[in-house]
Structure 1
């Protein structure tokens, strides 16, 4: 996974979200319902909740999840090709995104095993989630999406708890913060002690941090702002994004433009010139097809378009669903790879609207 290889609560959380309201006074309850209605009216319900899931998407997703479940190791990890905490995180998010109850649904055991594998792989001192800062970013993102949705009293199933999801996230945030302090560009690259940075790794770590902050974890504003400034310096006026070096443009890459669009949107910087430029760059190229690392491209393109231009996402999503339906293996996998299968499913995950990071 390199450049050369590169809140709507979950249904299971709804009880925990609304349970405290049962003891509210009528006045407070009425105020809450008014605010909830006002928030709902401010956004197209189709954006927030989606419509009917296309059968094509349902079929691809169900077959893909069944394959991932069958290939998960007893220790909770996924082996084959790329391996590490980030791959486990990608596969874990594919299950979480489907809308299955993460605590009592069909795939709840797979979700718990995946979480345990990620937490056990973490360095207890540095907080690093191996095998690279790519992995660290994706693993941190998956932990953030599981936090609050997964019942931790069930997570370790009577065994000895290594650490809670919140504790693992806190360690991961500190690792990313310390790595950034040692980086002269203000971003991240392959290892925690890298002194250079690139926009691909920086985007992955930044999404993990933004998801952690959205989940309620303490993430220093300075860390987010410094990384966003690095992404901004790497963005050209035409919406192209440099791979490394910290100076705008220099080489067209739809992957990098999609990543830059996404982090700007999720960090609430849609009013910036850079966001407008990168969004224009990708929406004018909806027919673009990557020759290599296409799963990586689809993963970021789906989220960037959804965040930036819903109509463009609808068009792109329909085409992507057809493509994935045609290229999915007879066994339900994509190229027999957990990484490619997980990323391909997540490219369709926005159809379900369950992961908090997919909220618009």
Structure 2
């Protein structure tokens, strides 16, 4: 072969190699830029929460609303950064929040974490119970100080007991004909609420119980079983979760997207990756992916993104294919990277550059900022409650 042809061939090979490496380098550069943007946004958001923490350690939204839930969710944002009671950039904020929960004036013999003297908590105290238990259990799991651990353990055991006693009790007949006990949670306890329950509080209570169990706090199996049965009873034939269980079978088309996303988190937390129920919920999300992956704001947007993001993080990038092996087109799988691609850029752009807060939504910037910081920090994988 003529020597000049060898030069041509070598030149083509080199050019092809360079061209092939360029997309990889571009992707690597893009990933680094996004990580830097996320780190900056997280720092700004955490600084906003730091500045808005009350002197006694709590957070709230306008007019003193929902202090128990807000303190727990803001506290989780700092824990996800890596700070603890003793170490980290925001250890003071974590400590002040925990001290607020442990204050003698807040301790209640029945284990309730909320304050019914606050009008916004008197009618919705079970949200604070679930979020508060999740936060305190996440702190307890990392606490090494013996005295502090004992205080937290005592409070957590009472908090878990309160959640379990607050659970509703109903009956549900499964498709095979077996009747089982089902139990969810409502805005207040079953006794205070006339045995009323609904999906969003049920998910919150379940995550609180899971976090407690992860930390070594005993959680009765029967309460978890009744809750899983409850979610099954609330699942429609097309896989959606309905608002609340009134008896009988859930009707097709009545499912709600935010509740279905939240249910996936609870199913995964119970280790139900390969069972039929979570697969039905995921298939529902897949069938409604334009809703979940849309950047257009929707009803209960932050709530939906908070739980759908957790569900997609738990799926990772491969688990969907393992659960649905017949779906070969990887680009259409639900998963963490698709969620990030759909939402993170807009999420970063929506942050207020001056304050570091996110101002969207009806609840208030402490809530939205805490929820968005959770999503942006999932990749750190620090807390057991959010790990795959």
TM range (shorter): 0.7 to 0.9
Work out which of the residue numbers 339, 347, 356 in structure 1 matches 2:375.
347
Matched, 1:127 2:111: yes
Task: Look up the SS of the partner of 1:251 in the other structure.
Answer: coil
Q: Which has the higher contact order (CA 8 A, sep 6+)?
A: 1
User: For structure 1, which runs of at least 5 residues remain unmatched after alignment?
Assistant: 1-50, 156-160
* CA deviation string 1:84-111 (max 9, x = no partner): 2111110000000012354122210100
* Residue equivalent to 1:225: 225
State the TM-score, normalized to the length of structure 1. 0.78
Task: Tell me the distance in 2 between the aligned counterparts of 1:154 and 1:67.
Answer: 31
Number of residue pairs aligned between Structure 1 and Structure 2: 304
In the TM superposition, what is the alpha-carbon distance from 1:279 to its structure 2 partner? 1.0
Match of 2:75 in 1: 92
Deviation at 1:149, TM superposition (A): 1.4
Q: 2-side partners of 1:255 and 1:290: how far apart?
A: 13
Give me the whole-angstrom Cα distance separating, in 1, the residues matched to 2:85 and 2:346: 28
Deviates more, 1:251-260 or 1:64-73: 251-260
Counterpart CA distance in 1 for 2:250 and 2:273 is: 18
In structure 1, the residue matched to 2:154 is 167
Map Cα deviations across residues 114-143 of structure 1 (whole Å, 9 max, x no partner).
112223375421111212101111111111
Q: Distance in 2 between matches of 1:325 and 1:59?
A: 9
Pick one of 261, 264, 271 that aligns with 1:261.
Answer: 264
> Does structure 2 conserve the Cα–Cα contact (< 8 Å) formed by 1:71 and 1:78?
yes
Match of 2:280 among 272, 277, 280: 277
Q: Which residue number in structure 2 is paired with residue 47 of structure 1?
A: none
Is 1:180 aligned to residue 175 of structure 2? no
Contact 1:129–1:172 (8 Å) recurs in 2: yes
8 Å Cα contact 1:302-1:348 kept in structure 2:
no
Question: Residues 313-328 of structure 1 correspond to what in structure 2 (within 5 A)?
Answer: 313-328=336-351
* CA deviation vs aligned residue, 1:279-337 (integer Å, no higher than 9, x gap): 12224514234423222111101111122353511121233221111111121001162
Where 2:167 maps in the other structure, the secondary structure is helix
1:258–1:343: structure 2 CA closer, same or farther, 3 Å change rule?
A: same
User: CA, structure 1 residues 201+282, in 2 after alignment: closer, same or farther (shift >3 Å)?
Assistant: same
SS in 2 for 1:129: coil
* Whole-angstrom distance in 2 between the partners of 1:123 and 1:316: 40
Contact 2:197–2:245 under 8 Å retained in 1: yes
**2:185 & 2:220 partners in 1: Cα distance?**
16
TM-score (norm 2): 0.73
Choose from 11, 36, 51 the match for 1:55. 36
Relative to structure 1, the CA distance from residue 256 to residue 290 in structure 2 (aligned partners, 3 Å threshold; closer, same or farther) is farther
Note the alpha carbon deviations across 1:230-277, whole angstroms, 9 max, x for none: 011101232211101254355232211111111011011222222101
Return the alpha-carbon distance in structure 2 between the equivalents of residues 223 and 196 of structure 1: 16
SS of the equivalent of 1:55 reads helix
Q: After TM superposition, give the deviation of residue 186 of structure 1 in Å.
A: 1.1
Mind listing any 5+ residue stretches in structure 2 that lack a counterpart?
1-30, 115-120, 172-181, 319-334
The equivalent position to 2:250 in structure 1, one of 245, 248, 251, is 248
CA RMSD of aligned residues (A): 2.3
Say if 2:317 and 2:336, in contact at 8 Å, map to a contact too.
yes
Could you tell me whether the CA contact under 8 Å between 1:238 and 1:277 is conserved in 2?
yes
Q: For 2:68 and 2:146, how far apart are their aligned partners in 1? A: 22
